[in-house]
Structure 1
Amino acid sequence: MRQIVLDTETTGLSAEAGDRIIEIGCVELMARKLTGNNKHWYLNPERDSHEDALKVHGISNEFLRDKPKFGAVADELLEYLQGAELIIHNAAFDVSFLNKELELLGRPPLRTVVDRVTDSLAMAKELFPGKRNSLDALCDRLEVDNSGRTLHGALLDAELLADVYINMTRGQEALLIDVAPTEAAAGIQTRVDLRQFTLPVLLASDQESAAHEEVLLQLDKASGGKTLWRIQTRQDGPVPVA
C-alpha cells in the first residue's frame, strides 16, 4: 500500500467560515519506508491569515502574495494522492480544508481520489489513552527528534508525523510471519507432521478445579442456570480440563 503523510497550514480554523490553505506538505511511504518522493507547496489564499494563525505557522501574508493559488496545483496534488492511503494528524481538520478548496473549484471531495484516510491522532489516543497526543508530545514519547520545530510547517510536520506513524505501528511487524521471499513467491508451504510428537496432558489440580467450579457457580447464578459449559457437559459428557 502506498501511503502519503499529509499536513496543511491554514489562515485560520474554519474552512466553512472562509479560511484557506496556505501550505501543503506530503511525504510518501512505500512498504513503511520513506521514498523521498515528497511534495510541498506554498499557496496564495487570497486573504490574510488570522493573528493567532500567524503565531502558529509564522508564514507572513506578504510572503504568500506571489505564490500559486490552490487551483494551479490541484491537478498535480490529486494525481500524486491518487489511490493512496492518507495519514493525517487530526484528519478531520485537514480534510475539511482540502474538500472546501476542491468544492470551490467544482471538484469532487477527497474521498473520491484516495483509498482511505487514517487519523494518526485517533490511533495515538487508542495507544496512549489519557495522555497528551499532540505531534510534539508523540515525538517526545517515541523519541523522534523534533528539535528543529520552532513553528508549525506543513512539510516538516509531515516528515515528523511519518516517523511518529512508523514508530506507533512498529509492533505490527511482530504479527507478520517471517517467510523466505523465494518460498513465498513460489507458494511453498511448510507442513509439520504432528503425529511424530507426544503431547503431554496436564490435569488441573484440586485447587484449580475448585476455583473453576466457583466461577461456574457464579455464572450459573448470573445466567439463571444457562451456563454454556454446563449445557455442553450434559450433552457431551465431562469435558477434560487440559
Structure 2
Amino acid sequence: MRQIVLDTETTGLDWRNGDRVIEIGCVELLNRNLTGRHYHVFINPERAIDAEAEAVHGISLEFLADKPKFAGVAQSFEEFVRDAELVIHNASFDVGFLNHELNLLGRPPIDQLCCGVIDTLKMAKEQNPGKKASLDALCDRFAIDNGHRTLHGALLDAELLAEVYLAMTRGQESLIMTLEEEPGSAQSDAAGGGFERPPQLIQRASVAELEAHDQLLADIAKANKGLCLWLPPERAVEEAA
C-alpha cells in the first residue's frame, strides 16, 4: 500500500481567479511506514502573490524568480505520485489547484493519475464533530510537536500531516492480513498436513464503551442534522432535534 502525503502553497485562495501553485511537498508512506523518500519543489507562478497568502507562507515572488515553471516539474511530480493514494488536508483545495495546473498543460487530472484521495480534514470532522480540525489543532490533539512551524510550508506541513494521519488511523494496521509465514513457524496437527491454531480470543465491548459509542453516533447525527449511516433514520432525527 503506497500513499503520498501531499501539501501545496499557492499565490492565493482560488485557481478560478488565476491563482497558481508555488510549492509542492510530498512524503511517501509504504504500508503505513515513512520511507524517507520525498518530493519538494518551488515553482515560478508567472504572476503576483497575494499579500495575504505571502503572510501565511512567507514565499515571495523575488524568491521564485529563478525557480522552474510548472511545465518544468510536471513530469517529475507525476512520476512521484503515480498510482499512489494521496493523503491531503482539505483535499478539494490542493486537488483543484493541481488539476488546474495539469489542465493548462493538457495533462491528465489527479483522479486519473492516482488511485484515490483521502481528505484528513473531512476525516477529522467525522471523528470529532464540532471540534477544531486544522493541522495545528490536530497536532495538539495527537501530541505531535509542531513548535518549529512558524509559517506554512508544503514539505513541513506534509511531514506533520503524515504523523497526524498515522495517529488518526492507528489500529487500522491490524486489519491488514499478512499471508506470508516464517518457515517452520507452523506446527502440523496430529492428523498431519494441517496446522495447529491457537484458540481465538473474543474481546467484547464493555458497558462504558457501548455507551461512549452510542454518544459518538448521537454527536454525529446532531452535527449532520439527522444524517448518520450507523443509526436508524428515526433515531438519527431524534438525536439531531
What CA distance in whole angstroms lies between the structure 2 residues aligned with 1:146 and 1:7?
Answer: 16
Q: CA deviation at 1:176?
A: 5.3
1:97 aligns to 2:69 (yes or no): no
Q: How does 1:182-193 map to 2 (within 5 A)?
A: 182=182, 190=196
Residue segments in structure 1 that go unaligned for 5+ positions in a row: 195-242
Residue 57 of structure 1: aligned partner: 57
CA 1:76–1:176 in 2, change beyond 3 Å: closer, same or farther? Answer: closer
Residue 116 of structure 1: aligned partner: 116
Q: How does 1:131-170 map to 2 (within 5 A)?
A: 131-170=131-170
Q: CA deviation at 1:178?
A: 8.3
Q: CA deviation at 1:173?
A: 3.3
SS of the aligned residue for 1:150 comes to coil
Q: CA deviation at 1:91?
A: 0.2
TM-score (norm 2): 0.75
Q: Could you tell me which amino acid in structure 2 is paired with residue 160 of structure 1?
A: L
Q: Could you tell me which amino acid in structure 2 is paired with residue 23 of structure 1?
A: E
Q: How does 1:66-105 map to 2 (within 5 A)?
A: 66-105=66-105
Q: CA deviation at 1:87?
A: 0.1
Q: Could you tell me which amino acid in structure 2 is paired with residue 162 of structure 1?
A: A
Q: CA deviation at 1:171?
A: 2.4
What CA distance in whole angstroms lies between the structure 2 residues aligned with 1:67 and 1:176?
Answer: 42
What CA distance in whole angstroms lies between the structure 1 residues aligned with 2:125 and 2:76?
Answer: 33
Structure 1 runs of 4+ aligned residues shifted over 6 Å read: 177-180
What CA distance in whole angstroms lies between the structure 2 residues aligned with 1:94 and 1:50?
Answer: 17
CA 1:120–1:190 in 2, change beyond 3 Å: closer, same or farther? Answer: farther
Matched length: 193
1:129 aligns to 2:129 (yes or no): yes
What CA distance in whole angstroms lies between the structure 2 residues aligned with 1:32 and 1:75?
Answer: 26
Q: CA deviation at 1:192?
A: 7.0
Residue 40 of structure 1: aligned partner: 40
What CA distance in whole angstroms lies between the structure 2 residues aligned with 1:75 and 1:12?
Answer: 24
CA 1:129–1:22 in 2, change beyond 3 Å: closer, same or farther? Answer: same
Residue 29 of structure 1: aligned partner: 29
What CA distance in whole angstroms lies between the structure 2 residues aligned with 1:154 and 1:54?
Answer: 13
What CA distance in whole angstroms lies between the structure 1 residues aligned with 2:156 and 2:162?
Answer: 10
Q: Could you tell me which amino acid in structure 2 is paired with residue 75 of structure 1?
A: Q
CA 1:91–1:189 in 2, change beyond 3 Å: closer, same or farther? Answer: farther
Deviation by residue 1:137-159 (Cα, 9 ceiling, x = unmatched): 00000001100000000000000
Q: How does 1:206-221 map to 2 (within 5 A)?
A: none
Deviation by residue 1:113-139 (Cα, 9 ceiling, x = unmatched): 101011011111111111000000000
What CA distance in whole angstroms lies between the structure 2 residues aligned with 1:126 and 1:8?
Answer: 24
Q: Which has the larger radius of gyration?
A: 1
User: Considering only aligned residues, what root-mean-square deviation do their CA atoms show, in Å?
Assistant: 2.4
